[in-house]
Amino acid sequence: MNIAVTPPAYTPADYKSDVKPIWCPGCGDYHVLMSFTRAFAQLGLTPEEVVVVSGIGCSSRIPAYTNCYGFHGVHGRSLALAAGLKVTRPDLTVVVASGDGDGYSIGGNHFLHACRRNVDMTYVVMDNHIYGMTKGQPSPTTEPEFDTALTPGGTKVQPFHPLVVALASGANFIARCYSGDANETADVLAAAIKHPGFSFVEILSPCVTFRPDEKAWKDLVRPAPIAATDDQGKAARRLMTDDGFNVGILYRGNRLPFQPAAGAIDIDLSVLEKDFEL
Amino acid sequence: MSKPEGNPSVASLNDLLAVAYRIEIDAVERYNMLADQMETHNNPDLVKVFRDLARAEGIHGEEIRRLAGDFDVVAHARKIARFERGDSPEEADLTSAHYMMTPWHALQLSLSGEQRALGYFTSIVETAKDPKVKTMAAELVEEETEHVKLVHRLLKRYPEPSANWAEDLDPPSSQE
């Protein structure tokens, strides 16, 4: 008997957990959560096909707010966890959530090598140019003139340029979004998830508590004037010269993802355990 | 009919009803989200205001469902009624939320949403070719006009707070 089965249609609400977010009202991360759930619904992924992995920080609370599989890891190590997961369970969709402190400072080295290794996963960094959870210390993307009691007169340190670093390190998909535009961000996330290899999406996500000036981002962001390119040279020139407010997909590479063939890693775990026996 | 970039296409009466339904349901979701935030941050007055607003928008959504009769407006809304750029018209601006906001601020958000919806349906009236769409859009304009008036009336109960309304005597631990 031939029975036509209609695949279940998922709505964004199907990916939300019962845990209520505790971000500050006005925080951009609320929008990012919406974009995650809208992207998953758009792709028709079942919640159990998705794993959201994170490190530490306001942004990294996000796995608890979804009912997908989640792993709230240690500070800066989300990419290592996620890469290990993806190579052993390539059937799962792995999305990693981080912030500019977690991802670019403590996790900076993992970021470089995750781009280089090109495992098929999506890395989302909610960048608010500040350590919000620990009460407002400058992060790697904080402007040099940002003046606080901890950094009188500003850090005077050139900010990190995450998109340029990602490109130079080998990321296969690079995009920038603004959290306030949840639908546009959802579309970009869906494209990032579908693109093979390591996809990096920086989301400008204002911290209303320690960086109320970032509310102005809403008026500064604009769609990138040029379509995405697969030419690293063009992408490099574009990324080096933009002012950080061009949003959209900026680079789509065509490197093959790193994925060991099933059974290629033939290790008996009990043998490894012997090294740790007391 | 031409449409502003990113807005759903409204080519038929069913499309219009689906979009109108979606607008109300998006508003419900947004107000409930704001109510949850206020609950977490211990602002009970605002929890009530946002829950009341969510309830009101939910009633409007149900009215649209009834108007649609046997047509499955919910499924059609899911399929076609997506605002690609930015929020849908009645969604309150999440970025304007603050843990110490007052009912006046909440009603200002609501007013902006109702005004955006009014503008949206007015644009449909002005551009629709199908007379059925034009007529229904005109009805929706009337409804939204009433909602705008209602929010103005509610605002009279809540005076604008003083300029230092966000001053927190026990602020988040700041460096400064």
Cα–Cα distance measured from residue B117 to residue B147, given in angstroms and rounded to the nearest whole number = 10
Count Cβ atoms below 10 Å from residue A224 Cβ, excluding itself.
Answer: 17
Residue A6 is predicted with a pLDDT of: 55
pLDDT digit string (tens) for A28-45? 999 999 999 999 999 999
Q: Answer whether B38 sits within 8 Å of A25, measured CB to CB.
A: yes
Q: What is the mean pLDDT of residues A167-176?
A: 98
User: How far is residue B127 CA from its own chain's centroid?
Assistant: 22
Q: How far is CA A24 from CA A30, A132, A218, B172, in A?
A: 9, 10, 18, 10
Q: Which residues of chain A are within 8 Å of residue B101 when distances are taken between CB atoms? A: 25
Q: Answer whether B97 sits within 8 Å of A181, measured CB to CB.
A: no
Q: What is the mean pLDDT of residues A13-23?
A: 94
* Chain A: closest CA distance from residue B62 (Å): 19
- Say if CB A228 and CB A253 are below 8 A apart: no
- Say if CB A57 and CB A77 are below 8 A apart: no
Work out the widest C-alpha separation in chain A, in whole angstroms.
76
Residue B167 is predicted with a pLDDT of: 87
Give the three-class secondary structure for A137: strand
Among the partner-chain residues B83, B172, B175, the one whose CB lies closest to the CB of A148 is B175
Question: CA nearest A124: which of A46, A208, A40?
Answer: A40
Q: What is the pTM assigned to this prediction?
A: 0.89
Q: How far is CA B114 from CA B86, B109, B119, B142, in A?
A: 16, 9, 9, 12
Please report the DSSP string for A21-89 in residue order: P-SPTT-THHHHHHHHHHHHHHHT--GGGEEEEE-SSSGGGGGGGBSSEEEE-STT-HHHHHHHHHHH-
Residue B3 is predicted with a pLDDT of: 47
Q: Which residues of chain B are within 8 Å of residue A21 when distances are taken between CB atoms? A: 36-37, 40
Q: Which residues of chain A are within 8 Å of residue B39 when distances are taken between CB atoms? A: 20
Give the three-class secondary structure for A214: helix
Of the candidate CATH numbers 3.40.50.720, 3.40.50.2300, 3.40.718.10, 3.40.50.970, the domain formed by A22-274 belongs to 3.40.50.970
pLDDT > 90: percent of chain A: 81
Instruction: Please report which confidence band the pLDDT of residue A1 belongs to, taking 50, 70 and 90 as the band edges.
Output: very low
Give the β-pairing of A173-178 and A198-204.
Answer: parallel
**What residues form DSSP beta bridges with A178?**
A204
Question: Dihedral sign, CA of A150, A155, A241, A76?
Answer: negative
pLDDT digit string (tens) for B98-157? 999 999 999 999 999 999 999 999 999 999 999 999 999 999 999 999 999 999 999 999
Mean predicted lDDT score pLDDT of chain A:
93
Rounded to the nearest 10 degrees, what angle do helices A162-169 and A108-117 cross at? 40
* Chain A: closest CA distance from residue B131 (Å): 31
Residue B1 is predicted with a pLDDT of: 38
Domain spans, chain A? 22-274
* Residue A266 scores a pLDDT above 60: yes
Among the partner-chain residues B29, B85, B94, the one whose CB lies closest to the CB of A184 is B85
Cβ neighbours of residue B12 under 8 Å, at least 6 residues apart?
B130, B132, B133
Cβ neighbours of residue A173 under 8 Å, at least 6 residues apart?
A191, A192, A195, A197, A198, A199, A200, A201, A249, A251, A252, A253
- φ, ψ at B37 (rounded to 5°): -60, -45
Q: Answer whether A28 sits within 8 Å of B95, measured CB to CB.
A: yes
- Those residues of chain A whose CB sits closer than 8 Å to some CB in chain B are 9, 11, 13, 20-26, 28, 30-31, 135-137, 148-150, 180-184, 187, 206, 208-210, 215, 218
pLDDT digit string (tens) for A98-130? 999 999 999 999 999 999 999 999 999 999 999
Domains of chain B, each with CATH number or no CATH: 13-155 (1.20.1260.10)
Residue A272 is predicted with a pLDDT of: 83
Q: Is B9 at the interface with chain A, CB within 8 A?
A: no
pLDDT > 70: percent of chain A: 96
Among the partner-chain residues B85, B101, B173, the one whose CB lies closest to the CB of A181 is B85
Q: What share of chain B is helix, strand, coil (3-state, %, to 5)?
A: 65, 0, 35
Cα–Cα distance measured from residue A244 to residue A161, given in angstroms and rounded to the nearest whole number = 9
Question: CA nearest A123: which of A169, A159, A157?
Answer: A169
Q: What is the mean pLDDT of residues A235-244?
A: 94
pLDDT digit string (tens) for A85-101? 999 999 999 999 999 99
CB environment A186-214: b (16+ within 10 A), e (fewer): bbbbbbbbebebbbbbbbbbbbbbbbeeb
What type of residue is A189?
L
Catalogue the E-assigned strands of chain A. 50-54, 69-72, 93-99, 121-127, 173-178, 198-204, 222-223, 246-252
In the numeric block, which tokens belong to residue A203?
Answer: 């989301």
pLDDT digit string (tens) for B50-81? 999 999 999 999 999 999 999 999 989 888 76
* Residue A64 scores a pLDDT above 80: yes
Residue A146 is predicted with a pLDDT of: 92
Question: Dihedral sign, CA of B15, B21, B24, B26?
Answer: negative
Cβ neighbours of residue A85 under 8 Å, at least 6 residues apart?
A51, A53, A71, A92, A94
What type of residue is B91?
E
pLDDT digit string (tens) for A198-227? 999 999 999 998 999 999 999 999 999 989
* Chain A: closest CA distance from residue B43 (Å): 11
* Chain B: closest CA distance from residue A35 (Å): 12
Q: Answer whether B33 sits within 8 Å of A182, measured CB to CB.
A: no
